[in-house]
Amino acid sequence: MKKIYNLLIIGVALLLFSSCATTSSYTRASLYPKMYEERPVSLLVMPPINNTTNVEAKDLLYTSISYPLVEAGYYVVSPHLAMEFLKNESAYDAELFIDGDISMFGKVFGVDAVIFSVVDKWEKQGLGIATHIRYLVKSTKTNEILFERKCDLYLDLQVQSGQSSALGVLMELAASAIMTATTDHIVAARKCNRYVFSDFPRGQYNPNFGLDKDVKASEPNVRISVK
């Protein structure tokens, strides 16, 4: 009996140790130190790079990136004004600039950093919408990457009414299919952007500017399923 008791104690101890070991020890400063070194104030959001067959993905994502950045305390150049200028200057394709010198954007727009995003997946999957998007924030002063994150997000649109009968299950499936077909894909984009930039170091126009270095941060790559 004593032997069994000792084995139970050891098992509990191992479980506690493993749970502690997997707890995230990241902070915003440890993940994104260059953001605190350069302290960008103003940002330009470039049109997303769309590697999918969903032709709407580019515009859907572009219109929803700015909001969480403004909430975080940054000045963001108006996406509409930026889009018009970039189109007129034949600079609409971010693929041409993501790996190159972006100091020109600092001179033209007066911004400290540029936001790039790459859409690798954006499609209906089952009774939901699956997305995979990469984000980069690059300095216009040094061309260095200040912030980088990936997001695998599944927007679950399944309707659950709690009915257990065969007819009830069929009705749920039908409702889920209709919701998947009619739900604006902008919802998936907004949720993805919000999760990615939830750990974005707070900017000059946020009360927590410079005070959030030790704030706990989640994994640098986001994998999540949301309703």
Structure-token match 């600092």, residue found: 106
Average pLDDT, the chain: 83
Of the candidates 59, 70, 204, 72, the one whose C-alpha atom is nearest the C-alpha of residue 117 is 59
**Confidence (pTM):** 0.80
Give pLDDT tens digits for 163-185.
555 544 444 444 444 444 445 57
Query: Where is mean pLDDT largest: 80-94, 137-151, 211-225?
Result: 137-151
Give pLDDT tens digits for 95-144.
999 999 999 999 999 999 999 999 999 988 887 889 999 999 999 999 99
Domains in the chain with CATH codes: 26-120+132-150+189-213 (3.40.50.10610)
- Kindly give the residue spans of alpha helices, DSSP state H, lying in the chain: 2-22, 28-31, 33-38, 57-71, 79-88, 103-109, 166-182, 186-196
pLDDT higher than 60, residue 146:
yes
